[in-house]
Amino acid sequence: MRIGKYFKAAFFNHWNLLTFLGGAVFALLTPIPDVVLALVAAGEVAYLGLLGTHPKFQSYVDAQQAKAAREVTSLTSQQALERITATLPKELLDRFLALRGRCLDLQQIASELKQPGVNDSHQPLEKFQISGLDRLLWIHLRLLYTQFALYRFLKQTSEDQIRADIKRLETRLGQLPAQPTGDQDQRVRKALEDNLQTTKDRLANLLKARDNYEFVKLEIDRLENKIQSLGELAVNRQEPNYITGQVDQVAASMMETEKTMNDLQFATGLDTVEDAPELLHGEVAPRGRVKQLS
């Protein structure tokens, strides 16, 4: 029974359990335990009835259960990484690996600027600097996955067919009486109108997905160009710390892009994953099978 979960949550509330058990123990220590226990039980029933049926408490319980469900079903960053690398086609995964190679070059450049003549690729950047590059690589990898997911969605959805369906439904609606008199006519009109609205929503969703697809492609190019320019500018300026500051700025400039990716979960199927896995020096999970983009 649905109401039962609210009574259960109210009963197992920390403070209620302490009060109820304390009252029961007190009752057993009195000369009239049966009477006191009955009063404690009556008070508990009243409490459960009052709190368990209160709309705000029910909303709180529902919210806590929804939060717990999200925590159980949400992907960790490592799980998301394995899923992405197992799904991406070879050319897109190779594109990511190429960008990771450029980030490793950034690491080497920073090391050489700090210690000219010393070739040490093991500790060229501080931990927080490596974390910044990991975040940029994570954004890049998720962008590639989003691009691929939108590509599949667009390939499987026909705009011409949707527009033809809209035209067909509008024609059928136009053939019905403007003022339906019978119940059957009203039901038919309502069904056609609902179907027409659903089809129009599908068209709007398709057009939005197409716009997002082009946006994601541009953002991938922008991020790759930004990272490429970091090394060039750092060498010209001869400032090793320049890389760190610019990495943070590039990451901040991608906040709107990350929001867009989160909004596109209908296409990617990925939950929001805030923490970036170790990508600069970590091992990228092997692909499940080699795919082609087209």
Q: How far apart are CA 272 and CA 258, in angstroms?
A: 9
**Residue 278 placed within a domain:** no
86 alpha carbon, distance to own chain's centre? 19
Q: What is the pLDDT of residue 110?
A: 65
Q: Are residues 53 and 134 in the same domain?
A: no
Tokens at 255, concatenated: 């906040």
Q: Are residues 125 and 14 in the same domain?
A: no
Q: Are residues 44 and 174 in the same domain?
A: no
Amino acid (1-letter code) at residue 197: Q
102 burial (CB, 10 Å; 0-12 / 13-18 / 19+) is middle
Largest CA distance in the chain: 90
Phi, then psi, of 31 in degrees rounded to 5: -70, -20
Under 8 Å between Cβ of 216 and 148: no
Q: Are residues 93 and 162 in the same domain?
A: yes
**Residue 294 placed within a domain:** no
Phi, then psi, of 277 in degrees rounded to 5: -70, 170
Domain extent, residue 197, equals 76-268
**Residue 283 placed within a domain:** no
Q: Are residues 106 and 251 in the same domain?
A: yes
Q: Are residues 19 and 83 in the same domain?
A: no
**Residue 286 placed within a domain:** no
In 3-state terms the chain splits into helix, strand, coil percentages (rounded to 5) of: 80, 0, 20
Q: Are residues 164 and 221 in the same domain?
A: yes
In the chain, the number of structural domains is 2
| DSSP label at residue 179 | S
Under 8 Å between Cβ of 6 and 53: yes
Q: How far apart are CA 244 and CA 114, in angstroms?
A: 13
Phi, then psi, of 95 in degrees rounded to 5: -65, -40
pLDDT tens, N- to C-terminus, the chain (294 residues) = 467 777 777 777 777 777 877 777 777 888 887 887 888 788 878 877 787 777 777 777 777 766 554 444 345 777 888 888 888 999 999 999 999 888 887 777 766 666 555 444 444 445 556 777 888 888 899 999 999 999 999 999 899 999 999 999 999 988 888 776 777 878 888 899 999 999 999 999 999 989 999 999 999 999 898 888 876 776 666 665 666 677 777 877 777 777 777 777 767 777 665 677 888 777 775 544 445 555
Q: How far apart are CA 47 and CA 7, in angstroms?
A: 9
**Residue 275 placed within a domain:** no
Which of 72, 98, 113 represents a domain boundary (last residue)? 72
**Residue 288 placed within a domain:** no
Q: Residue 278 in 3-state DSSP?
A: coil
Amino acid (1-letter code) at residue 196: L
Geometric angle at alpha carbon 112, from 109 and 114, rounded to 5°:
110
Which of 38, 72, 106 represents a domain boundary (last residue)? 72
Q: Are residues 11 and 93 in the same domain?
A: no
Contact partners, residue 163, CB within 8 Å, separation at least 6: 203
Q: Are residues 24 and 94 in the same domain?
A: no
Q: Are residues 25 and 127 in the same domain?
A: no
**Residue 273 placed within a domain:** no
Which of 72, 104, 130 represents a domain boundary (last residue)? 72
Q: Are residues 115 and 137 in the same domain?
A: yes
Q: Are residues 191 and 157 in the same domain?
A: yes
pTM over 0.85: no
**Residue 280 placed within a domain:** no
Q: How far apart are CA 91 and CA 12, in angstroms?
A: 54
Q: What does the pLDDT look like over 14-54, one tens digit per residue? A: 777 778 777 777 778 888 878 878 887 888 788 777 877 77
